[in-house]
Copies of this chain bind each other. A is one copy, B any other.
């Protein structure tokens, strides 16, 4: 099969399987195939172009389709690796990271997320939905394998007279002895992020504070400015602080390519714990028990 068709075909299989059994090993196999196919497609069909970075201490490039105007989203040069081993992908998907260095974990997971997103950028114009769905499945799969449970996408809202359900991002039930997890996943947040805190607020209201711990996972906050072909990071730490103070408490925010302005938020009130996603693997067990912060 033509590799670009194969990439698109795998995606429809992925969404179908992930819907019923996200922690299934078939999901691992499909993700691995999609990453390998995407990396091969990018290496054959595109060239790398440097773009101007206006983000301190980070450099970015983009993929350009050969003999075409299509370009991908910007990629952080220090986090993307051109070749990765299938076995390493399988290892990270099952949180088997003991023999990996922290920086290599960051590169692996970033490359796994961005290789497919960039391939789709070149294969399908203006398609924001497919990369978002893929990233949601990738992160949801890692969580569901780590905690060995499939998530729901709705919660029961019980009140005096009638029952109703609220559609949510992934929620994981880890049994009565542990906190549950509310896991919104977004490639980047932009102005829509207030929804994350608002959903956490509803869940806290229905089930009690700290029954569900809110964990937001994002790739990055990069924005390409076409006027001068440069990359900036769009961050609104002041607004995040207000949401954390007045709407609800998010327990963690993980980034694959963490913006410095958000990383600093853990240092000052209201102390939002924004971290590299590589840290998740180390603290996953602690996230759902009674430790503070």
Min CB distance A248 to B, Å, is 9
Task: Please name all residues of chain B whose beta carbon is closer than 8 Å to the beta carbon of A192 when the two chains form the complex.
Answer: 192, 195
The smallest C-beta distance from A166 to any residue of chain B, in angstroms, reads 5
Please state if A243 and B202 are interface contacts (CB–CB under 8 Å): yes
Decide yes or no: A246 and B205 within 8 Å by CB, A194-B199, A195-B195 being known contacts: yes
User: Within the complex, which residue of B164, B199, B242 is in contact with A166, where a contact is CB–CB below 8 Å?
Assistant: B242
B residues less than 8 Å from A269 (CB atoms): 161
Q: Give per-residue flags for A199-240: 1 if the beta carbon is below 8 A from chain B beta carbons, else 0.
A: 101100110000000000000000000000000000000110
Sorting the interface of chain A by its residue count into under 10, 10 to 19, 20 to 34 or 35 or more gives 20 to 34
19 contacts between A and B (CB under 8 A): A157-B242, A164-B238, A167-B239, A192-B195, A194-B194, A194-B199, A195-B195, A197-B198, A198-B201, A198-B243, A198-B247, A201-B201, A201-B246, A201-B247, A202-B242, A202-B243, A202-B247, A205-B246, A205-B247
Known: A198-B243, A202-B246. 14 other contacts (CB 8 A): A164-B241, A165-B238, A166-B242, A192-B192, A192-B195, A194-B195, A194-B199, A195-B195, A195-B198, A198-B247, A201-B201, A201-B247, A202-B247, A205-B247
